[in-house]
């Protein structure tokens, strides 16, 4: 690019002197037209590249969905349908790729022809001047040489810009994800991380997912430091959403969320994870990391001893020792069962020792005895911490200092197990239904 600009600069000085000012004007106008059309073509090529990327992403989503759900696809006898779905997506991806490559070829040919087309009137004009004896014949050769060198540079530049354009469209989607604000603003840092009390308040919080219905409507809740609050309610009621809001993962809410009186929008994105630890509904382990590093994840200070101790507490230590390389075994997607993965996820939380703990159905994948054991471990761990927990089995949250019943995005009832049972409202209904189910099972 710099070389090309230098060439143009020199030509602006040399050509008017060596040949004729009018010739230079003709070349300058034609070159400007070339640049304008090239810019327009770039917009069209980006649109085609973007369409191709969208189709490629769609195809890879279907492939991922097929891998994730292969058991259910097989049991539902949907292999043929799923294969056809994937094939259609592959065909659409190939079709969009063909369109993009065709446009690229056509565009390249037009550009090369244009370069020659620009040279033609310049050569005719210079030949005319040579005939009239205004310029020596050597200058005609000079012009030809100059333009062919410019032509080479222009077509080289075009190839590079095509590559850059494609790379830029590939990054667009990723950039848009990365640019989503994680927290409303990354204001001041947490005043004193080690002395977090863990008092939490939600004040009139309203939230809706993009394109979805309103999920929380005027949700307000105060949680005293070092107490345990349980949120219960129907599926899709917004319980997990409340935890994600506190984690700063869903910044497009209105209202205020405070920790120790400080708006979380004013806590830096690096500080929030230091004070909150989670065990979520879907326990995810990291493939390609060892079992040890899966538990240590996010706790760079933790020692191997800390990991062993946490794993012993959640009853997964012996199971890990049976693996081919013990704690150094690389985790693969099916290495641990759902319940085992949940135990590892809780061990990760124990190792982190955060002042605020969020538990979303943290023991849902465990067997009955495992649930009781882990519940005891969690109760002890959460004694001196502020805990916000979500659970469907009400028996696991009876001990909470406050139980919040969520209904249509608002707090419908709030109190201890005893007060809510006496009240005879929604919580009492849910509890009675659960106990009734247990009795029926027995
Ligand atoms: N990423 C998302 N995009 C769009 N809608 C979402 C998203 N996540 C959740 N929702 C919707 O928001 C609502 C609340 O979801 P949320 O996961 O908070 O419910 P929940 O109370 O935790 O339910 P459950 O008891 O089943 O875990 C649901 O209707 C759900 O479909
Ligand atoms: Mg949930």
Per residue in 215-261, pLDDT (tens digit) is 999 999 999 999 999 999 999 899 999 999 998 888 889 999 999 99
Q: What are the tens digits of pLDDT across the range 281-325?
A: 776 788 889 999 999 998 888 999 999 999 999 999 999 999 999
For residue 215, the ligand closest to its alpha carbon is: 1
Q: Closest ligand 1 atom, CA of 244?
A: 18
Task: With cut-offs at 50, 70 and 90, classify the pLDDT of residue 112.
Answer: confident
Mean pLDDT for the chain overall: 86
pLDDT at residue 3, as a whole number: 65
Q: What are the C-alpha distances in Å from 360 to residues 4, 229, 312, 357, 410? A: 60, 12, 22, 10, 18
For the residues 2-12, what does the mean pLDDT come to?
67
Q: Closest ligand 1 atom, CA of 237?
A: 21
Strand partners, 37: none
pLDDT at residue 248, as a whole number: 86
Q: Kindly give the distance from the C-alpha atom of residue 353 to the centroid of ligand 1, in angstroms, as a whole number.
A: 28
Q: Kindly give the distance from the C-alpha atom of residue 292 to the centroid of ligand 2, in angstroms, as a whole number.
A: 28
Task: Report CA torsion sign: 223, 228, 233, 238.
Answer: positive
For the residues 119-147, what does the mean pLDDT come to?
79
pLDDT at residue 2, as a whole number: 63
Per cent of the chain over pLDDT 70 is 89
Whose C-alpha lies nearest to ligand 1, atom 20?
236
pLDDT at residue 206, as a whole number: 95
Ligand 1 site, CB within 6 A:
209, 212, 215, 233, 235-241, 281
Q: Kindly give the distance from the C-alpha atom of residue 243 to the centroid of ligand 1, in angstroms, as a whole number.
A: 11
Whose C-alpha lies nearest to ligand 1, atom 11?
236
Task: With cut-offs at 50, 70 and 90, classify the pLDDT of residue 438.
Answer: low
- The half-sphere exposure of 225 on its side-chain side, counting CA atoms within 13 A, is 11
pLDDT at residue 117, as a whole number: 77
Q: Kindly give the distance from the C-alpha atom of residue 154 to the centroid of ligand 1, in angstroms, as a whole number.
A: 53
Q: Closest ligand 1 atom, CA of 238?
A: 18
Task: With cut-offs at 50, 70 and 90, classify the pLDDT of residue 97.
Answer: very high
Question: Which region among 62-71, 137-146, 250-259 has the lowest average model confidence (pLDDT)?
Answer: 137-146
pLDDT at residue 193, as a whole number: 55
Cβ-contact 228, 359 below 8 angstroms: no
pLDDT at residue 425, as a whole number: 92
Q: Closest ligand 1 atom, CA of 234?
A: 25
Tokens of 369: 């005895």
Q: Kindly give the distance from the C-alpha atom of residue 272 to the centroid of ligand 1, in angstroms, as a whole number.
A: 23
For the residues 367-376, what does the mean pLDDT come to?
90
Nearest by Cα to 230 from 387, 371, 112: 387
For residue 207, the ligand closest to its alpha carbon is: 1
pLDDT at residue 189, as a whole number: 56
Whose C-alpha lies nearest to ligand 1, atom 6?
209
For residue 392, the ligand closest to its alpha carbon is: 1
Q: What are the tens digits of pLDDT across the range 389-410?
A: 998 889 889 999 999 999 988 9
pLDDT at residue 347, as a whole number: 96
Whose C-alpha lies nearest to ligand 1, atom 5?
209
The pTM (predicted TM-score) of the whole model is: 0.71
Nearest by Cα to 99 from 45, 168, 160, 43: 45
pLDDT > 60? residue 441: no
Greater model confidence, 190 or 186:
190
pLDDT > 90? residue 129: no
Q: Kindly give the distance from the C-alpha atom of residue 438 to the centroid of ligand 2, in angstroms, as a whole number.
A: 23
């Amino acid at each position: 690019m710099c070389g090309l600009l230098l060439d143009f600069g020199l030509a602006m000085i040399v050509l008017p002197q060596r040949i004729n000012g009018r010739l230079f004007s003709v070349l300058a106008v034609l070159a400007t037209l070339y640049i304008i059309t090239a810019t327009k073509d770039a917009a069209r090529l980006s649109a085609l590249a973007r369409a191709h990327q969208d189709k490629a992403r769609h195809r890879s989503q279907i492939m991922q969905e097929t891998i994730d759900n292969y058991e259910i696809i097989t049991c539902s006898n949907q292999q043929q349908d799923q294969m056809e779905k994937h094939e259609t997506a592959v065909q659409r991806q190939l079709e969009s790729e063909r369109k993009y490559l065709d446009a690229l070829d056509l565009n390249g040919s037009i550009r090369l022809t244009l370069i020659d087309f620009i040279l033609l009137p310049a050569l005719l004009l210079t030949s005319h001047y040579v005939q009239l004896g205004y310029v020596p014949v050597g200058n005609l050769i000079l012009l030809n040489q100059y333009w062919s060198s410019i032509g080479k540079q222009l077509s080289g530049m075009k190839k590079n810009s095509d590559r850059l354009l494609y790379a830029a469209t590939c990054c667009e989607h990723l950039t848009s994800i990365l640019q989503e604000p994680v927290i409303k603003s990354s204001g001041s840092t947490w005043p004193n991380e080690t002395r977090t009390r863990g008092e939490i308040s939600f004040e009139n919080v309203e939230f809706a997912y993009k394109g979805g219905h309103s999920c929380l409507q005027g949700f307000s809740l105060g949680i005293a430091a070092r107490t345990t609050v349980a949120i219960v309610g129907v599926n899709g009621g917004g319980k997990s959403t409340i935890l994600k809001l506190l984690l700063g993962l869903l910044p497009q809410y209105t209202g205020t969320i405070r920790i120790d009186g400080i708006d979380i929008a004013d806590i830096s994105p690096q500080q929030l994870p230091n004070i909150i630890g989670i065990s979520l509904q879907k326990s995810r382990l990291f493939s390609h990391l060892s079992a040890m590093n899966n538990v240590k994840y996010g706790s760079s200070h933790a020692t191997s001893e800390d990991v062993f101790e946490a794993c012993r507490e959640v009853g997964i230590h012996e199971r890990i020792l049976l693996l081919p390389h013990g704690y150094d075994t690389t985790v693969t997607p099916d290495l641990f069962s759902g319940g085992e993965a949940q135990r590892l996820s809780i061990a990760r939380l124990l190792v982190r020792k955060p002042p605020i703990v969020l538990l979303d159905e943290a023991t849902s994948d465990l067997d009955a005895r495992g649930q009781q054991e882990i519940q005891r471990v969690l109760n002890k761990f959460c004694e001196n911490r502020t805990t916000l927990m979500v659970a469907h089995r009400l028996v696991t949250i009876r001990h909470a200092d406050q139980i919040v019943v969520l209904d249509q995005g608002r707090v419908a009832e709030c109190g201890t197990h005893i007060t809510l049972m006496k009240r005879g409202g929604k919580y009492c209904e849910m509890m009675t239904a659960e106990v009734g189910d247990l009795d029926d099972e027995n």
